[in-house]
Amino acid sequence: MTGQLAGRNVIVTGGARGIGRGITLRLATAGANVVVCYRTEGPHLEALARQLADTPGRHRLVRADVTDAGDVERLVGDARSSHRTVHGLVHNAGVISTVPFGELTPQEWHRVVDTSLTAAYLVVNKTLPLMTAGASVVAIGSRAATVGIPLRAHYTAAKAGLVGLMRSLSKELSPQGVRVNVVVPGMIETEEAVRAGNEQRRAFVENHSHRIPLGRYGRPEEVANAVTFLLSDQSSYITGETLHVDGGI
């Protein structure tokens, strides 16, 4: 809905690619001023900037590695100097890998846990002073947190920790009027995945879709709609919640 977030200042981590890109564009269409945190340079950034130019807000593309405290400080500093206050924060950045637990190195453990979990601590911690009453934090979780996925113990642990962190913060930050929720996507087919997909992947997706009650993979904008709702005043009495966007899995 256009105007739902008119004039709201929102930071989105990992906001230039995949689900995060869908979130950025949806929020911008709803009238938000989006501070997009990205890590990897590429032509996709120019394309995103062009799309954002067609939306009403004032947007920023800021390169920052969310696992680096100094970078996160710079990201939030950019939001402070361009917008003064922050009404919304979406921690979407995340990485995944498939590794037998016995072969999981400390480096890989930290790469995955630091991006989903430690970065969530960093971005909320640094943004909090800019948040006004009515602000809303949304973290992008994973079903892995509750079911556990073999070969992805690091990812599962990170996403489970994220839920705990957000639930704790929902209680701690309520007195200052800040709401905190988690959105859990199911199987989402991002543009990149479709582009990179070969025959084998297409067959897998088709086969797997039959196990999803709604019979198909989700789209980034469907996750983005849930995030938009949780950032808006329409969810003003919802905090500490985990909202699944997964076609009924």
Q: What residue ranges bind ligand NDP (CB under 6 A)?
A: 13-14, 16-20, 37-40, 65-67, 92-96, 115, 140, 142, 185, 187-188, 190, 192
Concerning whether 155 is annotated as a catalytic residue, the answer is: yes
- Between 51 and 134, name the residue whose CB sits nearer to ligand NDP: 51
Q: How far is the CB of 157 from ligand NDP (least distance, A)?
A: 13
Q: What token pair was written down for 202?
A: 């297409």
- Between 107 and 236, name the residue whose CB sits nearer to ligand NDP: 107
- Between 39 and 167, name the residue whose CB sits nearer to ligand NDP: 39
- Between 145 and 178, name the residue whose CB sits nearer to ligand NDP: 145
The β-bridge relationship of strands 131-140 and 86-91 is: parallel
Q: What token pair was written down for 91?
A: 């921690």
Q: How far is the CB of 50 from ligand NDP (least distance, A)?
A: 17
Q: How far is the CB of 78 from ligand NDP (least distance, A)?
A: 14
The active-site residue, picked from 38, 121, 155, 237, is 155
Q: What token pair was written down for 181?
A: 């929720």
Q: How far is the CB of 196 from ligand NDP (least distance, A)?
A: 10
Annotated catalytic residues are 155
